Structures are given as C-alpha cells and as structure tokens.
Structure 1
Amino acid sequence: MNDDTTATAPSTRAGSSTRERILDAATERFYAQGIRATSADRIIEDVGITKVTFYRHFRAKSDLVIAYLERQAAAERAWMTGARAERDPLAALHALATDIGAASCSPGFRGCPFINAAAEYADPQDPVRSAVDAHRSWMLGEFAAIAADAGVGDVDTVASQLMLLRDGAMVNGYLGVPEKVAEVLDAVFTSVVSSARA
C-alpha cells in the first residue's frame, strides 16, 4: 500500500493517519521486542510505507521513540488521574494496585515501558532518557499528592516509597507471579500510608 498521495485537502488527515499508523506499529514492536531491537526498516515494512514517508513524519528513529514514550505517558497520566478522581487516597491506591495487577495478567505484559526504555538508554543526557525522567517525575508528584491527601507527615518519603512499590510490582508482574500482584501491592500501599499516618 502506498500512502504517499497528498493531492487534496484530505491530505492533512491522511498524513495524521499515517503518523498514527507508524506510531501504532512502533508501540507494538517497541514494547514487545525492545526499542533498540526494532529497526526503522521493520516499522516501515509493518506499516507498508516508503522510507520517504516515514522520515517525513519522524526525522530519526529517536523522534519516534520519544513520540512512543509521550503516547505511553499520556495514557498513564489519564489512568492515574482517573484512579485519583473522587476517591479517598487509600481507595485511589487500591484502584492503582488493582489495575497494575490486571495489566500484569494480560497477554504480552512486559512491565513498565519507561523502566524498559531506561534500561536501553542509560545516558542521562539522551533525549529518550529525558522523556523517561520527565514522566517518572510527574508520577512521583502524583504519589506525593496522594500522600498529602492521606495526611502523612513526610510526603516526599512516602511518595518515594509508593513509587518504589509501583516499580517493583511492574517488574514482579513480568518476572514473578502476576496473579498475586494486585493483592500484595494493595496491602503494602495501605501499610506504608497507615504507618506514615501513625
């Protein structure tokens, strides 16, 4: 299939659609097989476009990787914001634990895409690593907000503990027994907040 046609007004929509198709293919392959293991040529072949079309939308593979992470970040922000909406702090943490447990049991689960990306891009100056760090900083802020809502004394410490537990659950869901993730994570989330309140 050739989607290099840009003759009329619908071309803007077609361009947007092509970009999304590239991003869809990249998202699937980056998460399932790894970012460095997935070449731009492989994605070009998956989408059925020319190299010219690919590079019209993404000047380099690193731009595509950042777009992939930004898409993942937007999804996680919506998920975490939704879990917090109109819930008390422990109920929000319970919802997060339940959702992480459910994700861990889903076919093809490979843990956190941001932890995975950080493992592949160790240089803290790399733009990919910067995208990872920006999202993780946002998530830590969300845990701090939950901790503050819970009325704990040391918000920053509790936020770091909740983040650490979340990260561990994501890794354990991939490498351990995913069926236990929700139950264990919910229990330790509750324990950390209850202890900090006391």
Structure 2
Amino acid sequence: MTPAASPAPAVRTAAVRTPAGQAKDKILATAFRLFYAHGLRAAGIDTIIAESGVAKATFYKYFPAKDDLILAYLEHVDGVWTGQLHAAAEAAGPDPAAQLVGLFDALSTACRRDGYRGCAFINAAAESASGTRVHERTVAHKQQILAWIRDLADQAGAADPDRLARGLALLLDGGLASGVLDADPAAAAVARATAAQLVAAALPTPPTDTHGDD
C-alpha cells in the first residue's frame, strides 16, 4: 500500500526576504555608511549603486531621486538616535528630572564609537538649503527632540520648561559636536554634569541622580 503523501510545508513568507527586499536593504546600508562617512553630496549615486551591487534600474525603482535616499537615511538615523536617548533616559529611573540628566548618557555611546563624525542631522542641515525636504527633515528631528525634553521638564516641575528644554537641547548638540571636534572622552561626562546643574537650578527639588558618580 502506497503511503499517503506528506502535506506540503507551509510557506513562511514573512521569514524569507525577497531578492528585491535584499536589494533595498543593501542600498540603504551602503548609503548609511557613505553618507555618514563622506557627506550627503560627496557620496554620489553611482558610487552607492556600485558598492551596493545592485542594478541602476533597481536603485531608481526604490529611490527615484537622491533626496529620497537621503530622507530614508535620515529616517533610519532618527530611529536609532531617538531610541538611544529614550533608553538612556529610562535607565535613570522613573523620575522625569533624573531622566533629563540621564539622557546625556547616550552621548558616551555615540561619541566613542569608531568612525564617529558628529550629529548626522546637524551635518545634513549644513549641506542642505533651507526649505528643501532634507533641511525640513533635519529641523523636524530637532523639534521632536526638543518637544520630548520639554515634556520631561514640564513633568519634572520646572518653573520654565521651555527655557530648560532649550538649554538642555543646546547642551546636547554641543556635546555631539565636541565629540567630533576634540574627541575628548570626558566631553560626555562634562555635558552630563552640566545638565545636572541646569536641571537642579530649574527645579524646586533637585532630582535624585544615582549615576552621577559613574
């Protein structure tokens, strides 16, 4: 008697990447590396196509214009950096005031990594004209970070949340710039200590900082 045929295995489409999906990933990974290392304008489309190993038609299928690729790059950077900031803030505990100081721990990780070249959004803003899609995306990112810090300042009970948030955002950008200008590992610690002073001065009750001596 012939044994019954085994049922065909289910196709797990969600677990298998299509060649097209892999091609897009290669383009984005290559663009991320070249844009950050060399700048948005210095990294040309032909170089990105050659180093990603995709066909030119495939590239333009996903990114009809170079700015489309730049925006995808910035979107990815936004997710990574915003995630690092939130993770650093949450690691400081539930107190919003402590989180305002703790978020500066993200500087230590960012500024010490190999190939660090500063804030990708500040770099992009310097290379893009005001009013363009790329420049507007850099502004939107900074506004989102500022709004988040302002919300934490408000929750912490700052007398002037807008002023505190602005000061901390400027300090954060300064720390990012210092990390590439002088490459001093102590810059992140100094920025954090300065943030603690700003927060303490802005609040009726200073925050409980359990990591200040790390």
Equivalenced residues, count: 189
Whole-Å Cα distance in 2 between the matches of residues 96 and 193 of structure 1? 12
TM-score scaled by structure 1? 0.88
Q: Corresponding residue for 1:99?
A: 106
Whole-Å Cα distance in 2 between the matches of residues 103 and 77 of structure 1? 12
1:178 partner SS = coil
Q: Corresponding residue for 1:32?
A: 37
Deviates more, 1:134-143 or 1:14-23: 14-23
Superposition deviation, residue 176 in structure 1: 1.4
Whole-Å Cα distance in 2 between the matches of residues 150 and 29 of structure 1? 40
Task: Flag structure 2 segments of 5+ consecutive residues without an equivalent.
Answer: 1-12, 205-214
Superposition deviation, residue 95 in structure 1: 3.3
Residue 170 of structure 2 is aligned to residue 164 of structure 1: yes
Q: Corresponding residue for 2:148?
A: 142
Deviates more, 1:24-33 or 1:181-190: 181-190
Superposition deviation, residue 107 in structure 1: 1.2
Deviates more, 1:81-90 or 1:188-197: 81-90
Superposition deviation, residue 80 in structure 1: 2.4
Whole-Å Cα distance in 2 between the matches of residues 169 and 192 of structure 1? 15
1:32-54: CA deviations, max 9, x gaps?
Answer: 11110000000001011121111
- Give the counterpart of 1:151 among 157, 163, 168: 157
Relative to structure 1, the CA distance from residue 12 to residue 99 in structure 2 (aligned partners, 3 Å threshold; closer, same or farther) is closer
Superposition deviation, residue 153 in structure 1: 0.6
Superposition deviation, residue 157 in structure 1: 0.8
2:100–2:199 contact (8 Å) kept in structure 1: no
Task: Flag structure 1 segments of 5+ consecutive residues without an equivalent.
Answer: 1-8
Superposition deviation, residue 12 in structure 1: 7.2
1:94-152: CA deviations, max 9, x gaps?
Answer: 4322221232122100110000000101x221000111111111000111022112211
2:104 partner SS = helix
2:88–2:104 contact (8 Å) kept in structure 1: no
- Give the counterpart of 1:129 among 126, 135, 144: 135
Whole-Å Cα distance in 1 between the matches of residues 77 and 111 of structure 2? 16
1:103-118 aligned at under 5 Å gives the runs 103-118=110-125
Residue 134 of structure 2 is aligned to residue 120 of structure 1: no
**More helix by percentage:** 1
Q: Corresponding residue for 2:187?
A: 181
How well do the aligned residues superpose, as a CA RMSD in angstroms?
Answer: 1.9
Whole-Å Cα distance in 2 between the matches of residues 96 and 55 of structure 1? 39
Whole-Å Cα distance in 2 between the matches of residues 195 and 147 of structure 1? 12
Q: Corresponding residue for 1:53?
A: 58
1:105–1:178 contact (8 Å) kept in structure 2: no
- Percent of aligned pairs sharing the same letter: 35
Highest Rg: 1 or 2? 2
Q: Aligned partner of 2:73: which letter? A: Y
Following TM superposition, where does structure 1 have runs of at least 4 consecutive aligned residues deviating by more than 4 angstroms? 9-12
Q: Corresponding residue for 2:28?
A: 23
Whole-Å Cα distance in 2 between the matches of residues 52 and 112 of structure 1? 32
